[in-house]
A and B are shown apart, each in its own frame.
Chain A
Amino acid sequence: MTRPSPTEATGEAAPRRRGAAEHVLRWTLARVVGGLVVLWAVATLVFFAVRLVPGDPAEAILGGPGSQASAEALALVRQEYGLDQPLLVQYLAQLGRLATGDLGTSYSLRTDVAGLLLDQLPGTIALALASLVVAWAIALGTAWWATLGGRVAAGVSSALEVVAAAVPHFWLASVLVLVFSTQLGLLPPVSTGTPVGLVLPVVTLAIPVAGFLGQVTRDSLLDAASAPFTVSARARGESPSGLFRRHLLRHAALPGLALSGWAFGSLLSGAVVVESVFARPGLGRTLLGAVTLRDIPLVTGVALASALAYVVVVALGDLAERAVDPRERAS
């Protein structure tokens, strides 16, 4: 039995890093600051966009030149937003308002924007999260089927993924409603309060994302399946399903996790269409209405809420990625 040489005895591959707790603290701080920067940037962009649009900013806030806002409404807006004041003062005042959670008032719906958002947010978040879970399930399921089923399965799943990724939400929703609601009568065409009413919207949202996640997952699955560690595992007598469960699954999921921020964003943006098709109350539908009526405070509010949700999801996705793959990586 050979004794390990002195250089081997410590066995540490890299110099020890700082303690784990400090690491977590730094990471959280970086995330929070980053998120705040993003929110600030969104608010700033909207601020300047309103003022860059040709015409009267007060009018723009109320819905654009075609809104035919009354003189009192205009005056009210000018006073609230301090549009007579110098630009810098306006900007700081706006930031101050946002920092305290005052998102302004929606002129089309005549309610406080912040309250409206808090009302609508949970429904959309629930929809998006459920769809994310379903999308992952479909993506992993087709990836698994591709490894087992051989060439035919891989070709079919590849074709399905291309189609799924190319399908627009509004069409998919209509087709699904047509098939499951009109013809088969199994599911309701519009959202009722019940879980059953959630099925079609979730499936509609999930399929395009599943298409893309499936492509990415299958690519990395193929990579992992021909890697040396897979050969080692097979040389131990590992079965295909054991191979998938214990080794390939993790590797295949990694790029998908890295894309979780994008996936969630895609779901949020798809929610706009899905919520209006299925008459589901939520942020998407609210945004649509706000855009149609050019209700700037409400649009701003939704944009900020969406940005916040995105930042949180990206952070969670990063955590999940690190949990699966703790190796150090250069960014």
Chain B
Amino acid sequence: MTVLPTLPRPDERRGASPGRRSRRLPGPLGRLRAAETVAALVLLGVVVAALAPGLLAPGDPLAVAPADAFTAPSPAHPLGTDESGRGIWTRIVHGTGASLSIGALATLLGTGLGVLLGVAAGFGDGRWPGRAADAGVSRLLEVLFALPGLLLALVVIAFTGPGAVPATLAVGLATAPGYARIVRSQVRRVRRSAMVEAAVVLGRRPGTVLWRHVLPNALAPVVVLATLGLGQAVVWASSLSYLGLGSPPPAPEWGAMLSAGRTYVQVAWWTTVFPGLAVVLTAAASTVLGRGLARRGDAS
């Protein structure tokens, strides 16, 4: 589960002699682009499934047919059926909306909160209001980090009770510290950069410098981070559902499906493996895409 996606550092030595070996991942550029294209297609499919599940899986995910329970993967049901005879494929597709929306909303919440906290803390060097903000936010972040990931989400749920909305809130809060820490270091780095100094020498006012230079450059990686973080948010959201703390049954959410299938794993492995695979594919695709975006941003 990626919590802290690493930002590739910009290659600072330009004009290096041709003999110098590049530090980027080896492999022809073509191969990397293929992976990203596949990832983008997968995510596209996921989004389609979330918005219009009927396109990919006509059929009712809630229709119970006890006679068909536990059929292995077959032409009629490509991924088999679960304990109530519902098609796994249909349920996975229809569950995309629930799983993805929790993950996406939680990521939005996490990045929003993380950016606010990170920017506030990033102005910590200098006069005292900034320093106080930095000290306060940094301590808060330390505390939040001391309750890592799922633990923090669980603690939040303990207070709010289970459900889809509390799960969204919990995952959002749990991902915020990671973003905040990176945004904070970005803001500090940009504020100390030669670019900002040059702007000051030109006579720009601090507000202008902030708006024109600091924020756009410091927050540029946030989109990439959010893409990387989306996969992780989906993983956590489905973990919460798996533990019975997210979307209540019979909603076809991936984690919940896996939880239900757990008891039958010995007889019907497809009830467990396929819903989890959906989570893995989504998370992996968003990670690959995010890293590809990061590399593109690095190269430009």
Chain A residues packing against B (C-beta within 8 Å): 34, 37-38, 41-42, 45-46, 49-50, 53, 60, 64, 66, 150-151, 154-155, 158-159, 162-163, 165-172, 174-175, 177-178, 182, 208, 211-212, 215-216, 219, 222-223, 226, 255, 259, 261-262, 264-266, 268-270, 272-273, 276-277, 287-288, 290-292, 294-296, 299, 302-303, 306-307, 310-311
Contact = CB atoms under 8 A, between A and B. Distances in A.
Contacts of A265: 145-149, 151
A168 B151 contact: no
Given A60-B159, A168-B238, A216 B26 contact: no
B239 interface: yes
Contacts of B142: 34, 38, 41
B279 interface: yes
Contacts of A290: 158
Interface in B230-246: 231, 235, 238-239, 242-245
Nearest to B146: A307
Given A41-B140, A42-B146, A266-B1, 14 more contacts: A41-B139, A42-B147, A154-B26, A155-B31, A162-B288, A166-B284, A167-B235, A170-B242, A174-B276, A222-B24, A223-B23, A265-B149, A276-B243, A288-B243
Interface string B208-243: 000000000000000000000001000100110011
Contacts of B279: 168, 171
Contacts, number: 190
B132 interface: no
A291 to B, nearest CB: 4
B155 A299 contact: yes
Contacts of B280: 163, 166-168, 171
Interface in B256-273: 258-259, 262, 265-266, 269, 272-273
A262 B1 contact: no
Contacts of B288: 162
Nearest to A273: B239
B4 interface: yes
B46 to A, nearest CB: 13
Given A226-B21, A276-B243, A49 B149 contact: no
Interface of B: 1-4, 6, 8, 20-21, 23-27, 31, 35, 139-140, 142-143, 145-151, 154-155, 157-162, 231, 235, 238-239, 242-245, 255, 258-259, 262, 265-266, 269, 272-273, 275-277, 279-280, 283-284, 287-288, 291
Given A162-B288, A178-B272, A288 B4 contact: no
Contact of B151 (A150, A158, A296, A303): A303
Contacts of A177: 265
12 contacts: A41-B139, A66-B161, A155-B31, A165-B1, A168-B1, A170-B276, A174-B276, A178-B273, A269-B148, A288-B243, A302-B151, A307-B146
B34 to A, nearest CB: 11
Contacts of B276: 168, 170-172, 174-175
Chain A CB within 10 Å, residue with most, of B161, B255, B259: B161
B274 to A, nearest CB: 10
A45 B277 CA distance: 37
Nearest to A49: B159
Contacts of B284: 162-163, 166
A331 to B, nearest CB: 11
Nearest to B28: A151
Contacts of B157: 291
Given A154-B26, A287-B151, A166 B287 contact: yes
A269 B287 contact: no
A269 B273 contact: no
Nearest to B266: A182
A315 B218 CA distance: 29
Contact of A50 (B159, B255, B283): B159
Contact of A262 (B4, B160, B242, B262): B4
A187 to B, nearest CB: 15
Contacts of A168: 1, 235, 238-239, 242, 255, 276, 279-280, 283
A296 B158 contact: yes
Nearest to A296: B158
A64 B161 contact: yes
Given A60-B159, A167-B280, A294-B161, A219 B6 contact: yes
Q: Taking each of B26, B31, B148, which has the highest tally of chain A beta carbons within 10 Å of its own beta carbon?
A: B148
Nearest to B39: A162
Nearest to B272: A174
8 residue pairs, one from A and one from B, having the closest CB atoms:
A265-B148, A171-B276, A166-B283, A269-B150, A307-B146, A166-B284, A151-B26, A269-B149
Contacts of B151: 265, 268-269, 272, 287, 302-303, 306
B257 to A, nearest CB: 11
A163 B291 CA distance: 13
A262 B1 CA distance: 11
Given A162-B284, A163-B280, A170-B276, A287 B148 contact: no
A106 to B, nearest CB: 13
A169 B231 CA distance: 14
Given A168-B279, A174-B272, A306-B151, A208 B1 contact: yes
A277 B26 CA distance: 39
A310 B154 contact: no
A273 B287 contact: no
A179 B161 CA distance: 35
B143 A41 contact: yes
A261 B145 contact: yes
A270 B150 CA distance: 7
A273 B235 CA distance: 12
